[in-house]
Amino acid sequence: MADLAHRYENGFPKIGIRPIIDRRKLVKAATKEMTMELAREAARLLSETLRYPDGSPVECVVNDVCISGLKEAAQCADRFAKEGVGVLVTVASGWCYPLETMETNKQLPHAVWGFNGTERPGAVYMGALHAAHNQKGLPVFKIYGRHVQDMDDRTIPDDVQAKLLQFARAGLAAALLRGKSYLSIGSVSMGIAGCIVDDSFYRRYLGMKNAYVDMTEVTRRIERGIYDPEEFRTALAWVREKCRIGPDPNPAELVIPDERKERNWETVVKMALIVRDLMVGNPKLAEMGHEEEAYGYNAIASGFQGQREWTDHFPSADFLEAVLNSSFDWNGAREPYIVATENDNLNAATMLFQHYLTNTAQIFADVRAYWSPEAVERATGHRLEGRAAGGVLHLINSGPAALDGTGEMMRDGEPALKPHWEIADEEIDRCLAATSWRPTYMDQFAGGGHSTDYLTRGGMPVTMARINLVEGLGPVLQLAEGHTVELPEAVHAQLDERTTPTWPTTWFAPNLVPGDPAFDDVYAVMENWGSNHCVVSYGHIGADLITLASILRIPVNMHNVGAKRLFRPSSWSAFGTKDPEGADFRACAAYGPLYG
Q: What distances in angstroms separate CA 542 from CA 451, 527, 546, 563, one per listed residue?
A: 30, 20, 6, 11
Residue 229's H or E segment, with its range, is helix 229-242
Q: Answer yes or no: is pLDDT of 52 > 90.
A: yes
Q: Answer yes or no: is pLDDT of 376 > 70.
A: yes
List beta partners, residue 476: 468
Tell me whether domains 14-177 and 181-345+360-460+478-539 share a fold: no
List beta partners, residue 438: 451
Active site residue 366: yes
Give the pLDDT score at 122. 73
9 pLDDT band, cuts 50/70/90, is confident
332 pLDDT band, cuts 50/70/90, is very high
Best CATH choice for the domain 14-177 from the list 3.40.50.970, 3.40.50.1070, 3.90.180.10, 3.40.50.300: 3.40.50.1070
Give the pLDDT score at 28. 80
| Mean pLDDT (whole number) for 551-571 | 97
Q: Is 366 annotated as a binding residue?
A: yes
Q: Where are the alpha helices (DSSP H) in 405-514?
A: 425-433, 489-496
Quick: pLDDT tens for 220-274: 999 999 999 999 999 999 999 999 999 999 999 999 999 999 999 999 999 999 9
Q: Which residue from 463, 557, 560 is spatially nearest to 506, judged by alpha carbons? A: 463
| Mean pLDDT (whole number) for 391-401 | 88
Quick: pLDDT tens for 431-464: 999 999 999 999 989 899 999 999 999 999 999 9
1 pLDDT band, cuts 50/70/90, is low
DSSP 8-state secondary structure symbol assigned to residue 256: P
| Residues 18 and 88: beta-carbon distance below 8 Å | yes
Strand pairing class (533-538; 461-470): antiparallel
Q: How far apart are CA 271 and CA 276, in angstroms?
A: 8
**Which has the higher per-residue pLDDT, 28 or 113?**
113
Give the pLDDT score at 134. 94
Cis before 308? omega within 30: yes
Residue 234: how many CA atoms within 13 Å on its side-chain side?
Answer: 12
Residue 448 CB contacts under 8 Å (≥ 6 apart), including other chains: 256, 260, 261, 264, 315, 316, 439, 440, 442
Give the pLDDT score at 194. 85
Quick: pLDDT tens for 536-550: 999 999 999 999 999
Q: How far apart are CA 230 and CA 245, in angstroms?
A: 24
Residue at 408: amino acid letter = E
Q: Answer yes or no: is pLDDT of 399 > 70.
A: no
Task: Give every strand in the sheet of 450-453, ordered side by side.
Answer: 244-245, 436-439, 450-453
Q: How far apart are CA 547 and CA 543, in angstroms?
A: 6
Q: How many residues does the chain have?
A: 596
95 pLDDT band, cuts 50/70/90, is confident
Q: Which residue from 89, 86, 105 is spatially nearest to 46, judged by alpha carbons? A: 89
Domain spans of the chain?
A: 14-177, 181-345+360-460+478-539
Which one is catalytic: 103, 318, 329, 342? 342
In the chain, the percentage of residues whose pLDDT exceeds 90 is 87
Rounded to a whole number, what is the distance in angstroms from the first to the last CA of the chain? 42
475 pLDDT band, cuts 50/70/90, is very high
Mapped onto helix, strand or coil, the DSSP state of residue 77 is: helix
569 pLDDT band, cuts 50/70/90, is very high
Quick: pLDDT tens for 463-472: 999 999 999 9
* Mean pLDDT of the residues in the chain: 94
Which one is catalytic: 366, 481, 544, 584? 366
Residue 92 CB contacts under 8 Å (≥ 6 apart), including other chains: 19, 20, 21, 35, 112, 113, 114, 115, 122, 125, 126, 129
Give the pLDDT score at 25. 84
Q: What distances in angstroms separate CA 429 from CA 334, 400, 426, 451, one per listed residue?
A: 15, 19, 5, 18
Quick: pLDDT tens for 151-174: 888 899 999 999 999 999 999 999
Q: Answer yes or no: is pLDDT of 369 > 90.
A: yes
| Mean pLDDT (whole number) for 521-528 | 97
Largest CA distance in the chain: 90
Indicate the pTM of the whole model. 0.96
Mapped onto helix, strand or coil, the DSSP state of residue 505 is: strand
Cβ-based burial of 240 (10 A; exposed 0-12, middle 13-18, buried ≥19): exposed
Quick: pLDDT tens for 196-226: 999 999 999 999 999 999 999 999 999 999 9
Q: Answer yes or no: is pLDDT of 3 > 70.
A: no
Residue 470 CB contacts under 8 Å (≥ 6 apart), including other chains: 476, 530
Give the pLDDT score at 2. 61
Residue 297: how many CA atoms within 13 Å on its side-chain side?
Answer: 22
Q: What distances in angstroms separate CA 81 from CA 1, 16, 85, 387, one per listed residue?
A: 36, 10, 6, 49
Give the pLDDT score at 8. 83
Mapped onto helix, strand or coil, the DSSP state of residue 174 is: helix
Give the pLDDT score at 430. 98
DSSP 522-574: HHHHHHH--SSEEEEEES--HHHHHHHHHHHT--EEE----GGG----GGGGG
Q: How far apart are CA 450 and CA 261, in angstroms?
A: 9
DSSP 8-state secondary structure symbol assigned to residue 13: P
User: What CATH number has the domain spanning 181-345+360-460+478-539?
Assistant: 3.20.14.10
Give the pLDDT score at 398. 72
Q: Which residue from 47, 80, 50 is spatially nearest to 63, judged by alpha carbons? A: 80
Backbone angles phi, psi at 80, to 5 degrees: -65, -40
In the chain, the percentage of residues whose pLDDT exceeds 70 is 99
Active site residue 342: yes
Residue 533: how many CA atoms within 13 Å on its side-chain side?
Answer: 27
Q: Answer yes or no: is pLDDT of 49 > 80.
A: yes
68 pLDDT band, cuts 50/70/90, is very high
List beta partners, residue 467: 477
Q: Answer yes or no: is pLDDT of 140 > 70.
A: yes
**Which has the higher per-residue pLDDT, 467 or 149?**
467
